[in-house]
Amino acid sequence: MSDAPLDRLKARLGEVSDINSAVSLLHWDQEVFMPPKAAEGRGQQLATLSGLAHRLFTDAEIGQMILQLMDKGDLSGDDAKLVSEAAYDYNQATKVPEAFVQKFAIAQSKAYEAWVAAREASDFKTFQPHLETMVSLLREKADLLGYEGSPYNALLGEYERGMTAEELKTIFGDLAPRQGALVDRIVNASQQPDLTWLDQEWDPDTQWDISMDVLRDIGYDFDAGRQDRSVHPFTINFDTKDVRVTTRIHPKELFSGLTGSIHEGGHALYEQGFLDKDRRTVLGQAISLGIHESQSRMWENMIGRSQPFWNRYASRLQVAYPGQLDDQSPEDFYRAINHVAPTFIRVESDECTYNLHVIIRFEIELALIEGDLTVAEVPEAWNAKMKQYLGLDVTDDANGCLQDIHWSHGSMGYFPTYALGNLYAAQLFETIEGAIPDLWKQVEAGDFAPLLGWLRSNVHEVGRRQTAVELIESVTGKAPSADAFMRYLEGKYLPLYGLG
Amino acid sequence: MSDAPLDRLKARLGEVSDINSAVSLLHWDQEVFMPPKAAEGRGQQLATLSGLAHRLFTDAEIGQMILQLMDKGDLSGDDAKLVSEAAYDYNQATKVPEAFVQKFAIAQSKAYEAWVAAREASDFKTFQPHLETMVSLLREKADLLGYEGSPYNALLGEYERGMTAEELKTIFGDLAPRQGALVDRIVNASQQPDLTWLDQEWDPDTQWDISMDVLRDIGYDFDAGRQDRSVHPFTINFDTKDVRVTTRIHPKELFSGLTGSIHEGGHALYEQGFLDKDRRTVLGQAISLGIHESQSRMWENMIGRSQPFWNRYASRLQVAYPGQLDDQSPEDFYRAINHVAPTFIRVESDECTYNLHVIIRFEIELALIEGDLTVAEVPEAWNAKMKQYLGLDVTDDANGCLQDIHWSHGSMGYFPTYALGNLYAAQLFETIEGAIPDLWKQVEAGDFAPLLGWLRSNVHEVGRRQTAVELIESVTGKAPSADAFMRYLEGKYLPLYGLG
């Protein structure tokens, strides 16, 4: 196997990877440290560098190098996978012509501005024409990318390759009524958690210190990353050895900063876990957004909202806030942090209702892309579904169909990955509980290394060698479905609400 | 005047400027926030992006665009200047072939490693072969760049375009004995400042707050920049609206963090002062390192080490350190911060001895490049000059010719710009004192706006429209010389040491 042509391809792709790392750093800095007046210049720098990365990656020479390597057919294992994944990315990137990318970017920026104003005024009407443009551009984009079945599959494939609208309809169609029924029982349960003790001021610096400790405990490597503050928490990497997280801390919220840190920490553990030898290559990348989200949700919810976790950390918080938490038991923490209450806002919603928010969005955007719903009908459809799935009467568009940024960015096919992340997480976690019988003892002892070790070998180090469905099937022995997640929810929440 | 071809050139140069901004951000982050394990990846990102900026800038198409614009000859004013400056940069960049740049970079990195070890062991012998390579490469580089007179002029021109070795010999030849004689009188003066009260612990957070206040006071725009901590203080810009500084704070040093902040603040005020319309063009850049340094040294020394400045800020420090500075008068601060004492180490030296350190280095590197000194003879030459100019017997190479990083980086022609900065600053400052009669009253009142306003109009906004010598001559009416600086030193230090 002569590697000279492969090495040349790797060098070229490495260059593109380095530029994308610089783009990520420009983004990170913008969210974390950039002074306000720098915004215009930063926008220009981002446009130039992103454009350059695209231009260099879609260079015809790279296409020829890939073709030649595939034609020769003498590669195997990782090398073959690297080339076929590069070929996939190359085809995706070259299917959409530069002119369309520019047209789309202009529409995006107008739609985003209109969305900010419309949400401010809680007036869908002013956003409507922009959303109409975005839907029509997204259908055009689906045609450019190509698809089988629903045009929605082309868009979904950008985030969750291999997943289809048809499959999602089956999975979500099973999930929604089961989850809805559970929420219904919980809301009407007579045994509700006491939340009054949470109504205090929680020193932000102390919150910060706790979140840093917990990140360290779960295995986040601070020599290969750092935590900072930002308005919206996020995880970003410039390299497997430089994966950074941010968090947001409110003095009135005891848990949201910490759970945010654990969530981003879960994302970061994934990216810190790619193999060294995959650095600067397509193999050292996330499989899909759903798998990415499975890692953050598993750490946040299955670990960070578990009783054993709070058996360990309740005292850490009690020591940190002297006199503020003396009357609380670990069970009180566990009950409070798992409080279920339907809300209008997705990002404020709990584990039991979260997927229902996602399914509402999926059903609406699928209908928009397939032409079964007009943009003008979105608020009505939204409000009807909120009533149906969550029992809530939406008061206004700001608390309804205008709450998310995604559609203004032209991101459709993105939302389902949030719910898939929850399902993947539950499915993986059932396997993990079988593979590590002492898991909960270890969590209670603050020893997260066996869990992280399992995730490293079975998920993180896979990189892009499998698709999400392939990974779930090979690791758990089953196709993605709602079952494990429902078992997890019911196993946790029925006893919690005295519905056992 | 049709601007279409000019706009095309500007767009191309703007792209290069954006990449260079990303390179600067990668550097800034590396010094300020990057986690340790990211070093290797960051090195690769920097190499890719720097190489890309060079490749895009030296593209033959850019050369043709410049040539066509110059040939047409219908540009005037800023447009003509922009093209001629771009032509200058393009010629400089294309004179040195890629192969040489790579050879140089490899030698640099080996020389740097050897220098670190040699300084650690205080053993020049192990660094000697690497310095020999660097000198030979620098002579080769001078030949590639071309020069009149001394080959040193080619190297000097990279940092201080238009200045020559011949002129430096004249200026420094005049300066050295005058400055040496002054230092001699000061060292032997019977009246020496009391420094015993400085031997205390100075809370670092308080030092930080004071440095932030003073930066704000002198006009540094925190909406277009920020201050952070780093091992070596520096100023860097990604855009005229994003110019950042760093400082270093020692708990045992009351003044070094503050003077460092003012020094970097002076650099930053310069870069925040480029014209908006020059953004992303060669005109919105520093004229030379000497002019850059004139701005930092003026704010640090002429303002930050003046009696009127301390008349204002002594009480600020007294309030900040209750019980620690009660017995000190503003005069005590002024005397202590201007304490003169010859030292082996350039970066620790005071205003009166600093240039002498620079002149030693200039004389040695000039002799090396002109072939009048062998590398083996450097330690001996160094020690003899330290005795001659500063009256010190160098104890070892670490405190002698191995102290600076510059030569290991292959930077020769750089040192003189430090001394030129001092001379330019003094010459400009004499003009300023004439133009703003109330200057010292304003400084004492904490009103730095008139001084900054003058610097904006006469220095900052010039960008690259003039060379350093042109600017000094047009603003002060005189060619650069040692006179203003010696008048400044004698006017300040003779009374300070009772030598009036």
Residue bearing tokens 């080959």: B151
**Structural contact between residues B211 and B229, judged by C-beta atoms closer than 8 angstroms:** no
Phi, psi of A311, deg, nearest 5: -60, -35
Task: Provide the pLDDT confidence category of residue A102 given band limits of 50, 70 and 90.
Answer: confident
pLDDT of res. B385: 97
Nearest CB among B15, B36, B224 relative to A38 is that of B224
Tell me the three state secondary structure of residue B226. Answer: coil
One-letter amino acid at A274 equals F
Q: How far apart are CA A147 and CA A150, in angstroms?
A: 7
Chain A contact present for B55, CB below 8 A: no
Q: How far apart are CA A167 and CA A162, in angstroms?
A: 10
Task: Output the six-digit token pair for B126.
Answer: 């192990």
Closest among B279, B362, B377 to B82, alpha carbons compared: B279
Query: Which chain A residues contact residue B22 at CB under 8 A?
Result: 22-23, 25-26, 45, 49
One-letter amino acid at A441 equals K
In terms of Cβ atoms closer than 10 Å to its own Cβ (0-12, 13-18, 19+), residue A274 is: buried
Q: What is the average pLDDT across A489-498?
A: 97
Q: Look at A18 and B239 and tell me if their CB atoms are within 8 Å.
A: no
What DSSP character marks residue B464?
Answer: T
Q: Look at B48 and A15 and tell me if their CB atoms are within 8 Å.
A: yes
DSSP E strand stretches across B174-280? 227-229, 235-239, 242-247
Q: How far away is chain A from the Cα of B239, in angstroms, using its nearest Cα?
A: 6
Q: How far apart are CA A465 and CA A474, in angstroms?
A: 12
Q: Domain B122-500 belongs to what topology?
A: Neurolysin; domain 3 (1.10.1370)
Q: How far apart are CA B116 and CA B127, in angstroms?
A: 9
pLDDT of res. A500: 77
Tell me the three state secondary structure of residue A105. Answer: helix
Residue A139 Cα to chain centre, angstroms: 24
Kindly report the number of other CB atoms within 10 A of residue B189's CB atom: 15
Q: Look at B35 and A240 and tell me if their CB atoms are within 8 Å.
A: no
Q: How far away is chain A from the Cα of B275, in angstroms, using its nearest Cα?
A: 14
Q: What is the average pLDDT across A128-152?
A: 98
Q: What is the pLDDT along chain B (500 residues), one digit of tens a residue?
A: 445 899 999 999 999 999 999 999 999 999 999 999 999 999 999 999 999 999 999 999 999 999 999 998 899 999 999 999 999 999 999 999 988 998 998 999 899 999 999 999 999 999 999 999 999 999 999 999 999 999 999 999 999 999 999 999 999 999 999 999 999 999 999 999 999 999 999 999 999 999 999 999 999 999 999 999 999 999 999 999 999 999 999 999 999 999 999 999 999 999 999 999 999 999 999 999 999 999 999 999 999 999 999 999 999 999 999 999 999 999 999 999 999 999 999 999 999 999 999 999 999 999 999 999 999 999 999 999 999 999 999 999 999 999 999 999 999 999 999 999 999 999 999 999 999 999 999 999 999 999 999 999 999 999 999 999 999 999 999 999 999 999 999 999 999 999 97
Q: Tens digits of per-residue pLDDT, A61-85?
A: 999 999 999 999 899 999 999 999 9
- For the four alpha carbons of B90, B92, B97 and B98, in that order, the dihedral sign comes to negative
Strands A242-247 and B235-239: unpaired
The CATH class, in words, for A123-500 is: mainly alpha
**Structural contact between residues A241 and B41, judged by C-beta atoms closer than 8 angstroms:** yes
Task: Output the six-digit token pair for B153.
Answer: 């002029």
Residue bearing tokens 């990497």: A237
Query: Which chain A residues contact residue B239 at CB under 8 A?
Result: 38, 41-42, 45
Domain ranges of chain A: 4-95, 123-500
Q: Tens digits of per-residue pLDDT, A283-337?
A: 999 999 999 999 999 999 999 999 999 999 999 999 999 999 999 999 999 999 9
Q: How far apart are CA A240 and CA A269, in angstroms?
A: 10
Tell me the three state secondary structure of residue A113. Answer: helix
Identified catalytic residue from A167, A264, A300, A351: A264
**Structural contact between residues B40 and B47, judged by C-beta atoms closer than 8 angstroms:** no
**CA dist B311 → A227, B142, B443 (Å):** 42, 49, 9
**Whether pTM exceeds 0.80:** yes
Query: Which chain A residues contact residue B38 at CB under 8 A?
Result: 224, 238-239, 241-242
What DSSP character marks residue B276?
Answer: G
Strands A242-247 and A235-239: antiparallel
Chain B contact present for A241, CB below 8 A: yes
Phi, psi of B46, deg, nearest 5: -65, -40
pLDDT of res. B429: 98
Chain A contact present for B11, CB below 8 A: no
Residues 6+ positions from B306 with CB-CB distance below 8 Å: B334, B440, B443
Q: How far away is chain B from the Cα of A342, in angstroms, using its nearest Cα?
A: 40
Query: Which chain B residues contact residue A239 at CB under 8 A?
Result: 38, 41-42, 45
What DSSP character marks residue B160?
Answer: S
Residue bearing tokens 């045009």: A151
Q: Look at B26 and A25 and tell me if their CB atoms are within 8 Å.
A: yes
Task: Output the six-digit token pair for A434.
Answer: 């079988």
